[in-house]
Amino acid sequence: MGKKEREEREQERETFYEKRQKQQFKYKAIGIGVLAGIVAVLGISSYNFYELSTHVVPQGMPPGAGPLGGVNMHAGLLTMIFGQQFDYSSPAYQVKSRYIDFEKNDGETIHVHAANVTLGFLFDSLHIGLTGKCFTFPDKRNFCTDDKYSLKFFINHHQIEDISNYVPKDNDRILISYGNENSTQIDAQLSKLDSFSLSP
């Protein structure tokens, strides 16, 4: 075998080796990209699950609140939207504040752990917007008073305009009702609320 043939063979070997290395690098890069994508998706999913199920979200003290643990009061809450009861017992709404919360997988009893904490603070901790005219969920669904439907609030059977600044008292019964119910239907909702057995 001549010198020229040896050089050509070596060059072919080097070319083949370079091609193989480039191909392997390409496959590795694709594999790393796919793996990074999977890790990112898992990371986002884990974060979203943590946000929905974590037990203490808000850190701050409600404005004007008394010391944490200073009171231990319970109030019943019923939210009816188009005649259907909204469920606060899911992890997304459980124990989101140390001052006022739903807990123990119970979506009917508000637990109050400090004096002077408003219902507005409770709903802020749940990321639910609440005004005298609108009830807004985290996914931006709005239930607002308009020509056809109205948002109504009752505390111990007395209708009031807005409950945002209301400070719950022990054994209060609070109804939030959205729809076009007549007085008979509202009375039925109030009776249902009265039947709640508040958890300790």
Rounded to whole angstroms, the Cα distance separating 116 from 168 reads 8
Residue 167's pLDDT is what? Answer: 97
Specify the pLDDT at position 19. 62
By the 8 A CB rule, do 75 and 106 touch?
Answer: no
Q: Where are the domains of the chain?
A: 1-53, 73-194
Whole-angstrom CA distances from 127 to 55, 96, 161 are 14, 10, 21
pTM beyond 0.75: no
Tokens of 60: 């701050």
Nearest of 193, 196, 198, 195 to residue 177 by alpha carbon? 193
Could you say which residues of the chain have pLDDT below 70?
Answer: 1-59
Residue 137: HSE in the Cβ half-sphere, 13 Å Cα cutoff: 11
- In the chain, the largest separation of any two C-alpha atoms, in whole Å, equals 107
For residue range 76-86, list pLDDT tens digits in order.
Answer: 999 999 999 99
- pLDDT tens across 25-62, in order? 666 656 565 555 554 444 444 444 444 444 334 457 89
Predicted confidence at residue 53, as pLDDT, reads 41
Query: What confidence score (pLDDT) does residue 42 get?
Result: 44
According to the CATH classification, is domain 73-194 in 1.10.3720.10?
no
Query: What's the sign of the alpha-carbon dihedral 85, 90, 96, 97?
Result: positive
Residue 60 confidence (pLDDT): 72
Structure tokens that stand for 50 in this block: 């943590």
Residue 200, pLDDT score: 79
pLDDT of the residue at 176: 98
